[in-house]
Amino acid sequence: MQEEQQPEAAADPMSSSDAPEDGPKETSSVSQNISDADAFKILLEMKMKKRQKKPTLPSTVTELGTEDGSKVYVVGTAHFSDSSKNDVVKTIQEVQPDVVVVELCQYRVSMLKMDEKTLLKEAKEINLEKLQQAIKQNGVMSGLMQMLLLKVSAHITEQLGMAPGGEFREAFKEASKVPFCKFHLGDRPIPVTFKRAIAALSFWQKVKLAWGLCFLSDPISKDDVEKCKQKDLLEQMMAEMIGEFPDLHRTIVSERDIYLTYMLKQAAKQIELPRASETEPRRYIPAVVVGVVGMGHVPGIEKNWNSDLNIQEIMSVPPPSASSKIFKFVIKATVFGLMGYGCYRIGQRTVQFILSMPAAQSYLQKLTEIKSQH
């Protein structure tokens, strides 16, 4: 799924310094006489003029090209890094893209519009309600895995005091400042990733992975984050834990490399220039795209760039395995068992409390006396 960020309203093409002293009425009149097509052309010319100079790009940017001349600038980021946010802003300002693609899907798009304080609070709070929502949305196994991965992210958040996704929020804001720049979500839907990841594991592998994620507690510093610019911190931590599970690495990293590459290539289609009339021939120019992805995905994107890609296979969700069904049954049995025991204990204590009340004891004594008289 894609989401497009609409361009900001066209600025008044006449500068205030060129307007006459009694110019408000005249300026307004001239502005009203400019057609939408003319305004479009003026903004487009301004944008193209900025592109004429050779861009000065951060070292974290990889430049890729297509056969029709389109250019794609992939910014490799660390998801918890201030310098990565600066790299994204600088790249978008330098190249004035037609499309910005970020490593997010529709299930995580909310982080684009939430402020840093709210996100920081949300990331640290992993509660039963979030677990229930994840299970309802993705199923028992995928929901549990999602919560465990959130726990890894929350651990980093707590250690650094920095909310994740800052580079994506900066990309969203900067894209809105570039005339006619679209904003696309380029990552595979997270439920598909989790369901395919779960299907790739055996029962005992699932238990082992869950155990490792549950007891994650190693301290992390900001220096560690910057050192991980060569490999995204979150994905590096995951890679260390899933190193013995190559199928899991394939679904979480390699398959998403393919999906991200496909979405970047789709965004890099040539763009059509505006026409003054329907009779005017269509004209196209190469597109300029900025991709914002975790540094761990950049080598995979480069590797897949010149390949013919078909994402249908990596979008399919395999049926649950026997081990998944067993694990699901065990989880449900455990949850319902705990709930039943809790109800029993609460009910038992409630009865004891009621019976200990003076009014209840008096009523019982009267019943006993009536019964003894009969």
Question: Based on the number of CB atoms within 10 Å of its own CB, is 167 exposed (0-12), middle (13-18) or buried (19 or more)?
Answer: buried
- Read off the pTM: 0.69
Q: Kindly give the confidence (pLDDT) of every residue in the chain, 374 residues in length, as a single tens digit, with 9 standing for 90 and above.
A: 444 444 333 333 333 334 444 444 444 444 456 776 677 778 878 888 888 788 999 999 999 999 999 999 999 998 778 899 999 999 999 999 999 999 999 988 888 877 767 766 666 566 666 666 666 666 665 666 666 666 666 666 666 667 778 899 999 999 999 988 999 999 999 888 888 887 887 777 777 766 665 655 566 666 665 555 445 555 555 555 555 677 777 888 899 999 999 999 999 999 887 666 688 788 898 999 999 999 889 999 999 999 999 899 999 887 765 555 565 566 556 655 655 655 555 655 555 655 566 665 666 666 666 666 66
